[in-house]
A and B are shown apart, each in its own frame.
Chain A
Amino acid sequence: MNFDELFGHLGQHTVDGLAKGSIYALVALGYTLVYGVLRLINFAHAEVFMVGTFTVVGVWSLLGATDSPPLGTMLLLLTVGLLAAAAASGLTAVVVERVAYRRLRRMNAPPLIFLITAIGLSLVMSEAFGLWQGRLVVGMPTILEREVLFTVAGTDITNTQLITVVAALVMMAGLDVFINRTRYGRGVRAVAQNPDTAALMGVNKDRVIALIFLLGGLLAGAAALLYALRYGNTRFNVGFILGLKAFTAAVLGGIGNIRGALLGGLLLGVVEVYAATLTKSSWEDVAAFVVLVVVLLFRPTGLLGESLGRARA
């Protein structure tokens, strides 16, 4: 236990944890949206994220990206990367819903069958990428050199950390407005509350469900770009652990609750960085799972336990 290291640089570790947690939060939103509406853990969401990271790699190598390009090129690469990753992930998520879940919904299948299908699908997708792209870590150019932007009270804040946190917050606020203020958002909330009644009131259930899968996919794509900026590599099974963490974050904040996903993600990121500092870094995964079990034990509905539909009922 290395308490001196933790408390000596508490601010530094917290900032790092928040940056890490923002990525979790963005992926967690995908779980939370789908769970809030369908009461289903979309296990394949982790692979939706994985597709996003590979899209970033592909697009960047297609555009001939190199290490630390000039500012204009860099912005172009970031924008194109973001758009491509969001599009690819969003599309993948919609296809997943279409191929695997729609038929099961028609059959009125028990939840276990949904979950097993999702697990199978997630295995298919990650293995397909493993066979196609190889099983080794795929590196990518460092588009954005990490540098310290400014120092607040002895805590260095780097450009990647700032971008990650701000981007995540902006996207989350956008989603919050979308769900709570717009017509489509009202449809989502209606289906989340009571699918059958919403259908009677003229809400097209299938379209709403496709919409939430699309939204979750778009956010996972954005998370994939931020992940690429932070870690600079990907792998065919990158989604597995990250998906599990994001799910933990969603549960931590209260699955089905959009603001909860943000809170849970940030909290989990901070906890993990603290755990990694206190012990060997390989124990951080254990910390995440222990947090999950403890939270579920004492607050089975999470910290802000209310669901998408009931949030404003």
Chain B
Amino acid sequence: MGERFRALPKWQRMLAFAAFVAFLYYLPLLGIPGLTWLRTDVNGGNNWAGVLFVCAVYVLIAIGLNVVIGLAGLLDLGYVGFFAVGAYSVALFGSTQSPVVKALQERFDMPEGWAVAWAICIPLAIALTMISGVLLGWPTLRLRGDYLAIVTLGFGEIIRIVVRNVEWSGGPQGVAAIPGPQGAPSADNDVFGLIDAKPWYWLALTVVLVLVFAVRRLENSRVGRAWLAVREDEDAAAVMGVYPFKYKLWAFAIGAALGGISGFLFASRQGFIEPNQFNAQLSILFVAMVVVGGAGNMAGVALGAFLLAYLPERFRDFAEWRFLVFGLALVLVMLLRPQGLIPSRRRARELKDRAEEVPASV
């Protein structure tokens, strides 16, 4: 199917792509007879547009994590840490109830209701997550494979424990009154309110599409090829003049920034966050999205993220079982289809090569 699609003339592919994007924008209004069973609110379930919003946020996370795992080959089990940093940067600077904003008000004699504007929080969140990505990467990227995985897992937990135990983050109570594009939640928010999630979904979808385009450009750039080289063989890449540390750090920083943006969107829509929302299980869920979908392939990871976010909402009875099923999915996919549901073409070829060179002694 993929081969045939790629063989079509360019204008037909563009047209198909445009139709697909239009369909994505139409999704929250979905009313096509025969397809309405896809909606999660068919029998009194969850808000459909709200579910779609969460799916979009997860797709964004998967795309960010794919840069780290799929392209650069660094297994990061602490990605939820970056998600948390993004969420907390809008919460701590944007919410009038956060201790940080209160301290700033006192320090600079600001009026009572002052807080950093939502739009200014965006670059702030990106900067903070990139810095935290570099801070994590700088000491740990010398480690390889398995060690890196454990250290990043520890890092994710450290962020959660620190946030829960210090005072400036609101502690275990979390932070409320996180603003959206129209400021803190109130009756004045006629577009980005708490009830109607459709504008939120459209916003998130737009961000996803822009960032998909950006990451795609990055993938096919010099940096992207350097990532693949480092993933395949770090020493060989170093010999050929690619400095692995630098590119791994870039992968971490860019992946972190994407995770930060998704955390930012998530917190803005929720209006409230607390440290326990960012536990290690969520981190493993993120890895599951990337791996099940097909690490290294953007369409694959997006599909993986969508499925893992959507299925538990559509089948509510199964929500209790979701982490069990995620674990099973990880094991089964690794055993039966190690390249994921939609494999990256390059990766599928590598795994095939490897399976053929099985040593005779086994």
Contacts and interface: CB of A to CB of B under 8 A. Distances in A.
A282 B75 CA distance: 27
Interface string B143-163: 101110111011101100110
Interface stretch (A17-25, A68-76, A110-118): A110-118
B161 A100 contact: no
Nearest to B326: A123
B321 interface: yes
Interface in A238-291: 240, 244, 247-248, 251, 280, 282-283, 285-286, 288-290
A144 interface: no
A51 to B, nearest CB: 15
A279 to B, nearest CB: 9
Interface string B119-143: 0000000000000000000011011
Q: How large is the interface on A (under 10, 10 to 19, 20 to 34, 35 or more residues)?
A: 35 or more
B331 A108 contact: no
Contacts of B323: 123, 127
A200 interface: yes
A184 to B, nearest CB: 20
Contacts of B143: 296, 300
Given A108-B358, A123-B330, A285 B157 contact: yes
A196 B359 contact: yes
A128 B71 CA distance: 33
B338 A205 contact: no
B146 A285 contact: no
B158 A120 contact: no
A58 interface: no
A11 interface: no
Nearest to A280: B165
Interface string B280-295: 1100100110010000
Would you call the interface of chain A mostly helix, strand, loop, or mixed? helix
A33 B161 CA distance: 31
Contact of B150 (A104, A105, A117, A244): A244
A124 interface: yes
Interface string B311-332: 0000000001101101111110
A292 interface: yes
B355 interface: yes
Contacts of A207: none
Contact of B354 (A105, A110, A282, A292): A110
Given A105-B362, A117-B331, A124-B327, A244 B153 contact: yes
Given A127-B323, A292-B151, A117 B145 contact: no
Nearest to B153: A244
B284 A119 contact: yes
Contact of B328 (A116, A120, A131, A288): A120
19 contacts: A107-B355, A108-B354, A109-B354, A116-B75, A117-B330, A117-B334, A119-B77, A120-B327, A120-B331, A122-B327, A124-B327, A131-B321, A199-B361, A248-B154, A280-B165, A286-B158, A288-B154, A293-B140, A296-B151
Interface of A: 40-41, 100, 103-113, 115-117, 119-125, 127-128, 131, 195-196, 199-200, 205, 240, 244, 247-248, 251, 280, 282-283, 285-286, 288-290, 292-293, 296-297, 300
Given A127-B327, A289-B157, 18 more contacts: A110-B354, A112-B73, A113-B338, A116-B75, A119-B77, A119-B287, A120-B330, A121-B330, A122-B327, A195-B361, A196-B359, A247-B150, A283-B165, A289-B154, A290-B158, A293-B139, A293-B154, A300-B142
